[in-house]
């Protein structure tokens, strides 16, 4: 890294450059939740609220083996569902939402997970974050930017939004990132939040986005990034 300090680029240019670097840093980044069908992804995402993906992946094999689809989950015993998801935290509310969401999928959508934001967010337990994950990874639809705790934290630290409210945060990011890359941005920022920019002690000295970050403790430019930041004439 060069020790040269540099003035921050305009916000949109910084966001696009950050996206380019994130793609390079995490080329194989994908959804960390294990699933085989859209309804399983929906359920896993609901379970991931205030819980790690690793923990969810420990719980879902037994859950999906017992209740593999929306019909089975809708007709299942709630107490059994609660026990299967207990270790994810807030399990009573999560189990109730999962079962009610599956019941609505069966009664209103023919047993198939809907493919629009409005319909998905009508399901119990499914706010925009959950809907964005399902639409992007199950159906390849970029309807918005998934804002989880990592995305909210990093987008704020980097100066791409001043909002902590996920909906307002998302609206700011949607203006900066091309729609085709909305989920690319989210999933790679999540990886970066886990690997480098953690909540308690961000490792700015080894961060490849430090020179693009409004709150970084260092402003060094990665040697291999300087060329991409040089204005073209």
Catalytic: which of 129, 152, 172, 181?
129
Active site annotation includes 11? no
The string over 122-148, giving b where at least 16 C-beta atoms fall within 10 Å of a residue's C-beta and e elsewhere, is ebebbebbbbbbbbbbbeebbbbbbbb
Whether 129 is catalytic: yes
Of 214, 142, 218, the C-alpha closest to 180 is: 142
Under 8 Å CB-to-CB from 133, ≥6 apart: which residues? 31, 33, 41, 45, 146
Q: Catalytic residue, from 53, 94, 104, 148: name it.
A: 148
Residue 118 and residue 48: Cα distance in Å, rounded?
21
Catalytic residue positions? Answer: 129, 148
């Amino acid at each position: 890294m060069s020790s040269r300090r540099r003035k921050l680029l305009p916000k949109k240019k910084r966001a696009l450059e950050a996206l380019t670097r994130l793609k390079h840093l995490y080329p194989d980044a994908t959804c960390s939740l294990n699933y085989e069908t859209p309804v399983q992804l929906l359920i896993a995402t609901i379970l991931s609220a205030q819980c790690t993906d690793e923990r969810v992946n420990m719980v879902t094999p037994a859950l999906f083996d017992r209740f593999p689809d929306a019909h089975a989950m809708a007709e299942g015993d709630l107490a059994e569902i609660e026990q299967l998801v207990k270790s994810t935290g807030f399990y009573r509310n999560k189990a109730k939402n999962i079962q009610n969401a599956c019941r609505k999928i069966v009664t209103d959508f023919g047993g198939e997970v809907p493919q629009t934001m409005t319909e998905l967010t009508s399901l119990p337990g499914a706010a925009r974050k959950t809907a964005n994950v399902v639409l992007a990874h199950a159906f390849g639809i970029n309807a918005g930017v998934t804002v989880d705790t990592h995305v909210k934290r990093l987008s704020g630290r980097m100066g791409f939004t001043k909002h902590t409210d996920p909906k307002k945060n998302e609206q700011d990011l949607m203006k900066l990132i091309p729609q085709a890359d909305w989920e690319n941005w989210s999933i790679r920022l999540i990886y970066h939040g886990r690997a480098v920019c953690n909540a308690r002690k961000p490792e700015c000295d080894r961060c490849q986005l430090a020179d693009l970050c409004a709150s970084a403790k260092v402003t060094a430019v990665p040697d291999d990034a300087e060329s991409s930041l040089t204005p073209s004439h």
